[in-house]
Amino acid sequence: MRAVAARFAPTVHGVGDHGFIALIVAAARKAGVSGYVGDGSNSWAAVARTDAASLVRLGLESAPAGARLHATGETGVPTKAIAEAIGAGLGLPVTSIDPNDAVAHFGFIGGFFGMQGAASSDATRSLLGWEPTGPTLLEDIRAGAYFSLVA
């Protein structure tokens, strides 16, 4: 047996994703505003679902035993930019949410959305020659990947 570990970005995005971004979109719909925590300068690493899938395949086929792979297409997308893309897609105003109110506004995900979640996949790219080619998180949001979902 050859074990390989894969760590995925906080948001693995794309059509059909019901994860963190879908929850943030649902919170925006419920509140009538698209929010970001504090000044929105914290950022989240992201990877397209198709890129994450190709990394898993490549890791299973080629990674050495014990390898730790990071599925990160984008090192860090500012949370304010995420909120702005959601607001534009839903036709909602964008506003800062006080960190003390983040969980009340977003639900449990509010505790995470206000955290710094940047990460790098440089070592993984070097090890396997993996290069993400899918859309960025903001491209997926702007293309409407999250607006027909019922969260």
Q: Which residue ranges make up each domain of the chain? A: 5-142
Give pLDDT, residue 17: 86
pLDDT at 1: 77
Spans of the chain below 70 pLDDT: 149-151
Residue 95, judged by CB atoms within 10 A of its CB (0-12, 13-18, 19+), counts as middle
Q: How far apart are CA 36 and CA 89, in angstroms?
A: 15
Count of beta carbons in the 10 Å neighbourhood of residue 101: 13
* pLDDT more than 70, % of the chain: 98
Distance CA 65, CA 40 (A): 39
Instruction: Please give the CATH superfamily to which domain 5-142 belongs.
Output: NAD(P)-binding Rossmann-like Domain (3.40.50.720)
| Residue range 1-20, pLDDT digits in tens | 788 999 999 899 998 888 89
pTM of the shown model: 0.92
pLDDT of residue 66: 93
- pLDDT for residue 117: 86
Contact partners, residue 150, CB within 8 Å, separation at least 6: none
> Which pLDDT belongs to residue 149?
53
Of 120, 126, 15, 19, the closest CA to residue 71 belongs to 120
